[in-house]
A and B are shown apart, each in its own frame.
Chain A
Amino acid sequence: MAAALFRFPGNEAGWADNDAGAEGKRQSAVIELIDISKTYHIGDSDVHALDEVNLSIDDGEFLGIVGPSGSGKSTLMNIMGVLDVADCGVYLLDGTSVESYSSGELARIRNRHIGFVFQNFNLIGRMSIEENVELPLIYRGMKAAERRPLVEAALEKVGLLDRRRHTPNNVSGGQQQRAAIARALVTEPSLILADEPTGNLDSHTGAEIVQLLHELNASGRTIVLITHDSTLAAQTGRTVHIRDGKVAEE
């Protein structure tokens, strides 16, 4: 808890960019990482991907995590997205510790609390954009009639309603990333994790995607943007740097 308090001045800077609506949720932290460490064993050498990381992300925040490749930012994202589990430390997601969860429970958490946006979009090629967006709701066990309005709303928000029947291969990269964002937000997650979302896009389209993320943040979504591009990170509400598995506040 001391770690969270320690970060408080940094948070102040973040709030400045946020809309007033987020003010009421100020107290609640969506994510709290306390002394998180992760070590990979490659051959006989140990690689400390994360070394006692402490990080707190509040509801409605737009956080940028910047670091060069190999700095441990992907590992951090995997742990925050509960795709992976830390070796030691405490991870509180929406106030609940996730270490003791089974793989089934972790899948449920990913489904309900986290939306992923990947560098290479990661859409399923033989399914239409609409079906890709629908998929997380299917895994939630929602009925078709309940799914339809949610999918339409998400596609509307990213401006892809007219392309819903296309397969990902038949639309541009920017549109694919929009589809991926629609898939991430259709479940109304506590947190959207974007890992180099502009990495495979030209600068103009990349700027549009960042603009879209800003719009989502303005409507109250908590967003974590992971990038190696510090100019992109500068546009976020708060930026933390990661280097050699250690996190440093800007």
Chain B
Amino acid sequence: MMQPFRTAEGGRIDRSHRVRFSFDGQAYSGYAGDTLASALLANDVCLIGRSFKYHRPRGIMSAGSEEPNALVTIDRGAGRIAPNLRATSVELYDGLKACSQNRFPSLRFDIGALAGLAAPLLPPGFIYKSFMWPPSFWKRLYEPAIRRTAGLGRTPAEADPDRYLNQYAHCDILIIGGGAAGLAAALGASATGARVILCDEQAELGGGLLDEPNVTIDGWPAPDWVREAIGTLNGSVTLLPRTTAFGWYPNTMIGLTERLTDHLGEPGSQRPRERLWQVRAERVVLATGAIERPLVFPGNDRPGIMLAGAARTYLHRYGVKVGKRVVVATAGDSAYRAATDLHMAGVAIAGIVDRRPAGDSEAIQSARALGIPIHNGMTISSTEGRNRVHSAKLSNGTDIIPCDTILMSGGWTPSVHLFSQSRGALVFDAASGTYLPSQDAVGACAGVFDLSTSLRDGTAAFGGEPRSFAVLGVPAMAPSEPPVATVPHRGAFVDFQNDVTTKDLAIAADEGFVSIEHVKRYTTAGMATDQGKTSNLNALTAIAGLTGQGIEHTGLTTFRPPYTPVTFGALAGPVRGDLFAPIRLPPIATPGAVQEDAGTWKRARCFPNAKETIAAAVARECLAVRNDAGMLDASTLGKIAVEGPDAAAFLSRIYTDDFTKLEPGQCRYAVMLGEDGFIRDDGIVARLAPDRFHVTTTTGGAAYVLHHMEDYRQTEFFAMRVWLTSVTEQWAVIAIQGPRAAEVLALFIPDIDLGTMPHMAVRAGHIGDVPIQLFRVSFTGETGFEINLPPDHAQRVWDTLRQRDVTPFGTDAMHVLCAEKGHIVIGQETDGTVTPDDVGLGWTIRGTDCIGKRSLSLPDLKRHDRKQLVGLLPADPAVVLEEGAQVTVAPSARDGLSGPSVGARNAQSVGHVTSSHCSPTLNRGFALALLAAGRSRIGTQLSVAGPDGGIPVTVTAPVFLEKTADRPKPSPRRTQEPLLPLADQPAPVVRPCDSVQLATLAPITRLSIRAGPAAGTAIGLALGVLLPTVPCRSVMTPNRAALWLGPDEWLIVAPESASELAALARKAVGDHPASIIDVSHRSQTLEIAGPCAAWCLNAFCALDLDLTAFPVGMCTRTLLGAAEIVLWRIVAEVFHVDVARSLMPYVRACLEEARLEFVDVEVVSSRPK
């Protein structure tokens, strides 16, 4: 196949490697190393797309990511269709399929182009002006219609099948841009021994140096100097080509996207497509270069009109001549180089049109010497040509130059986007008419356009000695002049992507828009996917000219991330599917159960038998509890050990009750209020010993309750000697409820006399050979016990009880059983505005100054018409009301109880249904509700909103079952029946890999030590391992280790039994207050080891894991993805990850995902070496 615009030789493409591709279904060929844009130009494809608003034909304007026109859709197969990609940034691969956008029925004949004829009717703001009335039309008619016509590519409808990675990284110096200044900066920085990352958005490092085969640096042709520099940097600097720095976030966190496989063209590949880097840098050096500005003249948007610098790039890097007969329009010297280079390549230069008077710089002299006609003091006044420009008319009004290409150069705008995002101060440079960063920039980004100065400045960017390079072959050029405002004209485009002309800007100025930020929003100049890279300064110049206030007083709009569009996939990274959020599974597996989400947990809703409906299963489970015995996995309830001499006094502040009089061995129901007097949580407080309490919380409230308690412990009641330790996962809990509960348990528990054990008591004992804490508590009104036991044994106890015909029940039955007794459920009967008295729990307030008590006497919390908890019985027993439904009084009923009468004929709401169920025991529907002055309505008839109108109900007290005798009837014989044996845990399958190994370690004893300095020292001496006082450090002896986790918190890891070790520690502290808690079962440990262990952890953990920042022996709580872990570095390449049992599958899956690129050769990537 022909490539008519390809040069005979030269360029950085691989001419031995021909690549086939298609554009709008037409087959073409290019070479490896081409971009889609360079290959299309080589094939004489000039018309690439249609513009956004007027559907004007557009071609390729640039050779980089600033491209506003040549947007295409790349089709990589189902779910892999990417719209709005810049053809100038898409690397060519064999089989690439590209399509043009925003055209119908075809690119050459586009109906939408009629919009161009209507341009006078489409002024800026026309949407706001034209589609005002009636308002209801906006949503249904105007907006959908506008969205259909005004749009670029289409998003794919399928889920994205590609994989994406995330990497947290830290460095001393991040260099953004791999051109001359960036490479020189890296050479300077690498000599200092600093951690350096250099990234560049292009496939090849080198930037503009790759366009300079005729320039030498220290004797090397510039592209070869780049190769040598990369060779020097490799190994000491992390080099990231194809990596765009898109955003500068607080505290110097820079977002990078690295494109890993898009350029390879491997449809269906499982290799990751992109990696998001979140780089925390001590310093950033911006070597982002500069972007050439278009000239603003009428007809400056036709296909074939291109930036002059881009033409040099296409010639020298890709071996492509952009045209056969070229006119160059310029306001600076750099375009003369394009003219001479193209001339030397055999392209006819029909003329150079220079806005300035005749100059005599070396660049100009070279062009003149070649005989190229130069027209000074002129510009282009119009162009002709439909799908490609064919002539330019000069501003003298007479000369018309036939051509197929116009190159334009309005000067160069430093790329200050990232600096602006950093909230750095941009300084206006009057000489060039541009804004420059006040610091952190080198090279063209800093306004330095001389190559040898850029190189020298780069090497000295970090205070080192500047190094000079011998640069030959760059002609001397006069500095470029500031941009000038032109006469407003409809066809003189300023913003090509959004079709904003100088005329549009003039209309905005006429209508009173002065602030550049307002002009941007009104005209859309500088918006869209290119974020005004080529247009901002021209728009600014135009507005400054129109308002007469000068560029420096007009100011620049704020640049916002991202610099170029970022895929959603990259931002989501691996956080999708199973890794989207941790799913916590309780320690008892319940196959066959219907699951539901409870906070972050999965809990069993019910256990349907074969062919049983959910409703039937719930009814059967409820009846089993009422008539026999049922059991519930209550392991997910939060559990907090509250210990210390002042624990009772502390809990009497946190909960509404007074616990100072609670005897050891007793429990009490407890209600927690916020400072505002409203119920936050409830649970059971059990006193195990004078200074030791065990507190339960709701499943969803566990984290909040601990945080709330810590708040008061640390910042309000800080003089109290008390410590809080989460033991939620240390204990599994099986709740057994029902008349036969004691009888069944007595078969297994030899050492607790269940017959004499009172209600609301706690005892230590054994079930089989397993040590337990047995609570006698009930939420159903039936005899109830809760067995707290080590989670490793929970399954066998559960399975043994099941063999004894104890019926498992789920959360659905639990809710029915609770509601039948009128027990509130937090989050169901409470919503953050409910006081204890509102729900009949006023009796729990026995403390003297508990949190929130004072607020209960505020006037609003004492109002007689507050909503109060009542029961509702539908007149039709078959009806089950909807939860959340409004409860209303009929308009005819005179209702003196609710607030001021609305005087309307409508029914008036007096409250809402909070819980509603069908009771199998009562054989009818029933509900709880919060009603204004509810208690005074008991006995009255009300109505509840239903799908078919009001449902009549009777208000009742919120208790539906008569009090049942809670008297355990244990079996006469107390024996010890055997438990099922402990089942072997299947070991997870681990795929071996030398770079990084992952292993779950055998269980080991862990003690949580909470103590002041004196007790801490005593414990350290007794255990032979001193408790570290330096934050985040550990002390390791051959057998034991002590980890600092907080200023009064340590973790002891040791091989001997927990009870033995705890006894030793307790003996050592004597009378010093301390809290020593066995947490061995709470967590498990993963070992991650190998040269790439830190790299894998950093896929999900944001800490700096360099040996200098995270040395051997360092330990800390932190986050791995969404899971809290304790991270501990044992030796340089071995970490221990301590993670709560329920989060282990999630953490393991995260690390396996991070490890995949090392384990599986199919997904291997290049880093780290």
A, B: real partners: no
Q: Which A residues contact B (CB, under 8 angstroms)?
A: none
Q: Which B residues contact A (CB, under 8 angstroms)?
A: none
